[in-house]
Structure 1
Amino acid sequence: MTKIFEAKVLTVGPEALSMLNDANMIILFGEEAPDDLAEYCYKIDNKKLTGSIRQKGKLILNGNECQITAVGSVVEKNLTGLGHITISLDGSKEGSLPGTLHVQPKKPVQLEAGSLIQIFD
């Protein structure tokens, strides 16, 4: 597998952990996240994607390997344009919203400032 994306979490919004715990979602956004949305986000330092995000690829969240189960139609565009995607930890194969990446983690996800987020095709 080839690494096609890597970013470091710069800051964690005050409501980001509740989104993870209550909604089973992680919201990523680049450094330019609007203030009203930033409180729910994990701000990341990179938007460069070097390949296609595919179902059955891998998302690594702070060392926790997650199988990619569904890729929304605008995930790549939003990630490279804004650094903004929603990661749903529900393992859905159907997908939901166009900007959502669905994954199946092997263990509970924990992210903090300094955590690495990687995608492998």
Structure 2
Amino acid sequence: MKLIYQTRVTNIGNSATAFLGEKMIILFKDNAPEELADYCILHSGNQVLQAVRAGDILRIGNQEYAILYVGDEVEANLSNLGHITLRFNGAKEGLGGSIYLEDKVMPEIEIGDEIAIFRS
């Protein structure tokens, strides 16, 4: 499998779980603005090796999710800010700054977990 993107969770905002009911996780590089950091999963890097696309696999810790749709702002937002929204709802279209994933049990993210995207 070819690595497309890789980072590591450095902090979990106190209100990051507020969006779990909507099957959403918000990622932001660990230099996120203070007013946003509390709602985000913060991570250490944002080097995107290739454009993320539908059919790639997202891995968080030891759980994998098929990527169904990639919004048109994901590459720029991820590269520049490390900021995207992961949506675990099975949708095959949606908002520009989001990656849409298969609808299955969401991961329980912990500090130190790796977040990676691979291509077969």
TM-score, structure 2 as length reference: 0.94
| 2:100 corresponds to 1:102 | yes
| 2:15 corresponds to 1:15 | yes
User: Displacement of 1:110 after TM fit?
Assistant: 1.0
Q: In structure 1, what is the equivalent of residue 50 of structure 2? A: 51
Q: Distance in 2 between matches of 1:34 and 1:9?
A: 17
SS at match of 2:6: strand
CA RMSD of aligned residues (A): 1.1
5+ residue gaps in structure 2? Answer: none
Q: 2:23–2:106: 8 Å Cα contact kept in structure 1?
A: no
Q: What is the number of equivalent residue pairs in this alignment?
A: 119
The code of the aligned residue for 1:42 comes to I
User: How far does the alpha carbon of each residue in 1:12-41 deviate from its partner, in whole angstroms, 9 at most, with x for none?
Assistant: 001112222x22101000121111111110
Q: Distance in 1 between matches of 2:27 and 2:106?
A: 18
TM-score, structure 1 as length reference: 0.93
| 2:70 corresponds to 1:71 | yes
User: How far does the alpha carbon of each residue in 1:40-85 deviate from its partner, in whole angstroms, 9 at most, with x for none?
Assistant: 1001101101112110110001111000000000101100100000
CA gap 1:47/1:70 in 2 versus in 1, 3 angstroms = same
SS at match of 2:107: coil
5+ residue gaps in structure 1? Answer: none
